[in-house]
């Protein structure tokens, strides 16, 4: 049909998979690529140099059925070139935008670099995004092609307009990588033409309000910030990682995958969060990126298991953990503490590390949200450091991080080399970084609002201590004023509530209201395991709230709370693309529950 995106498929031209596989190791397929002709401050310059260096070394491990398969650097290079050749054959030009919409899988990774190797720009879209958002991204980016994993995702994209073709990973892309690349002369020409200041990706982020905005990231943004990261994090080709966060988000795509390419490590692609426990034990990674919620769940699982142990074992666990906590805080570590720690490690901590992380993990990287102190201290106590960091899509993910050598609890560390931080008069954190975006695609007004004189106005509120460690205290737009004229920082209250494993999520309410209340999503599955009914959950949570309130000023204490039946979802519009809570939407959806905490009630003393 004229004007409609065509779904193309490509025949294998008689090649069997065994024949296609043999092409992977044929020097003729890739011999014409000269990495030195590609600018080294580009993502593709980094990739092809590393591929030439490591050759047949394993790069990506991915599951096919129940068996792990290996993609070597040479395999990845050949696949990147094959897909780049296919895109060129379709008429994709340098500077064109190409959508990539799929779950995490090997093909996502080599399609990403193939798009860029063809001189085009990758536009990642979350696989579970709504049709409305997918269409807005496709239209705003003026994408000419899309690569998707299935028909459901293809159906969310618009028909007509600039989008000429939709390709399927299991049909079209599989066909392409079964053959040698056909357009090596053109690929080499395009690779040689790519400059550090060219856009390599447009990553759409909606924040918690408004339509998605396309963050234009340059090749040098990714390369320069990742080189800065590697100056403070001791990573090498002997390291390995288990990758499970979505590739459509900059955190895993840059801090997990691209940093891994730069230090030459190996990556195992997880089947997802439900499989992490098994895969951690099987893969035994040395480093891993995740978000606080995973660490909170791991911590809660240990606490629950210990609560079911005998009194003697509980006492032994608490002693070992207290020793580990003192050991992680004490820089002098006298002979008595060292001896106690050695015994605690032999009796409790080493086995716990193996059960939780596989036993080889050197450190976790945490980002995306605040991390509760007891969770952070728990992992440090058992000998698994969590290095909390901070950044945003507009800064190419990371701007600062704790490190093994410089760490401070409850902070997100110091800025990476080359990154400058300062605090504006109103407390907003400003960032000048080699990772700072070019701007928002087709949105000069929004760009001018956030990017001024080279500084990104992040919207986060924070403080920098005397030693240069940054602490995030709230989001600028989330701070509200009560009817009594008092300002309340809701994120701090929500972080405090999140310390209770029974609380999946909470939203603090109170703007223009006489007092502060809370919407709480309880962990009902955990409550069932503990034998708690709805009344029991409320009694438990009231004790938690009383504990939080004890450390607050009267104007910011939580006076009432309401339990919600289920967690927020992206599909309902309650969560942003990066899974932040959209407060206004939540307040609209749960207006009845909110009003019930105020109507006919007096302000408690």
CA dihedral 480, 548, 208, 146 (to 10 degrees): 170
Q: Please tell me the distance from the alpha carbon of residue 115 to that of residue 133, in angstroms, as a whole number.
A: 22
Pairing of strands 287-290, 266-269: unpaired
Backbone φ, ψ for residue 577 (5° rounding) = -60, -30
Check whether 9 has a pLDDT greater than 60: no
**397 near 437, Cβ under 8 Å?**
no
Count the Cβ atoms, other than its own, within 10 Å of residue 354. Answer: 15
Q: Which ranges constitute the DSSP H helices of 118-218?
A: 131-141, 151-154, 174-177, 184-193
**436 near 221, Cβ under 8 Å?**
yes
Pairing of strands 121-125, 97-101: parallel
pLDDT grade, residue 583 (50/70/90)?
confident
Mean pLDDT, rounded, of the chain: 91
| % of the chain surpassing 70 pLDDT | 93
**Helix, strand or coil, per DSSP, at residue 103:** coil
Instruction: Extract the tokens encoding 265.
Output: 């490590």
Measured between alpha carbons, how far is residue 100 from residues 124, 259, 421 in Å?
A: 5, 20, 33
Question: How many residues can be counted in the chain?
Answer: 605
Q: Please tell me the distance from the alpha carbon of residue 559 to that of residue 413, in angstroms, as a whole number.
A: 34
Beta bridge partners of 354: none
Spatial CA neighbour of 110 closest among 96, 127, 122, 94: 122
Residues contacting residue 326 through CB under 8 Å, at least 6 positions apart: 337
pLDDT one-digit tens code per residue, 104-143? 999 999 999 999 999 999 999 999 888 998 999 999 999 9
Backbone φ, ψ for residue 517 (5° rounding) = -130, 180
The pLDDT value given to residue 12: 28
Query: Would residue 418 be called left, alpha or beta, if left means φ above 0 and alpha means ψ between -120 and 50 degrees?
Result: left
pLDDT one-digit tens code per residue, 247-258? 999 999 999 999
Domains of the chain: 1-195 (3.40.50.980), 480-596 (3.30.300.30)
| % of the chain surpassing 90 pLDDT | 76
Residue with tokens 């064109």: 96
Query: Would residue 243 be called left, alpha or beta, if left means φ above 0 and alpha means ψ between -120 and 50 degrees?
Result: beta
The pLDDT value given to residue 444: 97
Return the HEC string of 272-291. CHHHHHHHHHHHCCCEEEEC
The pLDDT value given to residue 578: 64
Measured between alpha carbons, how far is residue 2 from residues 88, 159, 161 in Å?
A: 22, 10, 11
């Amino acid at each position: 049909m004229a004007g409609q995106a065509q779904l193309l498929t490509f025949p294998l031209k008689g090649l069997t998979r065994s024949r296609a596989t043999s092409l992977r190791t044929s020097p003729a397929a890739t011999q014409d690529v000269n990495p030195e002709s590609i600018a080294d401050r580009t993502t593709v310059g980094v990739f092809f140099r590393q591929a030439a260096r490591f050759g047949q070394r394993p790069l990506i491990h991915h599951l096919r059925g129940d068996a792990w398969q290996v993609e070597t650097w040479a395999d990845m290079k050949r696949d990147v070139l094959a897909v780049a050749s296919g895109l060129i054959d379709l008429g994709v030009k340098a500077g064109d935008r190409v959508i990539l919409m799929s779950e995490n899988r090997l093909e996502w990774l080599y399609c990403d670099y193939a798009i860029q190797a063809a001189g085009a720009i990758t536009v990642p879209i979350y696989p579970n995004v709504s049709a409305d958002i997918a269409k807005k991204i496709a239209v705003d980016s003026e994408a000419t092609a899309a690569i998707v994993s299935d028909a459901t995702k293809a159906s969310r994209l618009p028909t007509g307009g600039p989008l000429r073709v939709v390709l399927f990973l299991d049909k079209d892309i599989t066909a392409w990588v079964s053959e040698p690349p056909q357009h090596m002369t053109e690929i080499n020409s395009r690779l040689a033409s790519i400059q550090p200041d060219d856009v390599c990706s447009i990553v759409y982020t909606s924040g918690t309000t408004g339509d998605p905005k396309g963050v234009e990231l340059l090749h040098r943004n990714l390369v320069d910030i990742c080189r800065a990261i590697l100056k403070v994090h001791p990573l090498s080709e002997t390291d390995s990682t288990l990758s499970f966060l979505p590739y459509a988000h900059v955190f895993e795509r840059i801090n997990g995958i691209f940093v891994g390419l730069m230090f030459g490590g190996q990556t195992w692609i997880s089947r997802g969060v439900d499989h992490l426990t098994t895969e951690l034990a099987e893969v035994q990674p040395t480093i891993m990126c995740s978000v606080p919620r995973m660490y909170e769940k791991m911590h809660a699982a240990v606490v629950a298991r210990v609560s079911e142990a005998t009194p003697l074992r509980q006492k032994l666990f608490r002693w070992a953990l207290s020793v580990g906590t003192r050991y992680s805080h004490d820089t002098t570590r006298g002979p008595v503490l060292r001896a106690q720690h050695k015994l605690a490690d032999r009796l409790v901590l080493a086995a716990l590390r193996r059960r939780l992380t596989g036993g080889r993990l050197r450190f976790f990287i945490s980002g995306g949200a605040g991390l509760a102190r007891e969770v952070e201290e728990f992992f440090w106590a058992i000998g698994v450091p969590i290095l909390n960091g901070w950044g945003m899509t507009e800064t190419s993910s990371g701007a600062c991080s704790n490190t093994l050598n410089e760490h401070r609890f409850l902070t997100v560390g110091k800025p990476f080399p080359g990154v400058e931080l300062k605090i504006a008069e109103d407390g907003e954190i400003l960032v000048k970084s080699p990772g700072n975006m070019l701007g928002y695609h087709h949105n000069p007004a929004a760009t001018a609002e956030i990017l001024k004189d080279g500084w990104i106005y992040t919207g986060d509120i924070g403080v920098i201590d005397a030693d240069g460690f940054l602490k995030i205290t709230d989001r600028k737009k989330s701070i509200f004023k009560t009817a009594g004229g008092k300002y309340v920082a809701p994120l701090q209250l929500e972080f405090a509530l999140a310390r209770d494993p029974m609380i999946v999520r909470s939203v603090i309410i109170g703007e223009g209201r006489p007092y502060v209340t809370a919407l709480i999503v309880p962990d009902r599955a955990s409550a069932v395991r503990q034998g708690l009914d709805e009344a029991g959950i409320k009694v438990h949570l009231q004790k938690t709230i009383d504990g939080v309130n004890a450390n607050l000023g009267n104007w910011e204490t939580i006076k009432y709370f309401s339990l919600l039946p289920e967690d927020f979802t992206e599909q309902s519009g309650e969560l942003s693309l990066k899974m932040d809570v959209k407060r206004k939407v939540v307040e609209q959806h749960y207006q009845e529950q909110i009003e019930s905490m105020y109507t006919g009630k007096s302000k408690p003393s």
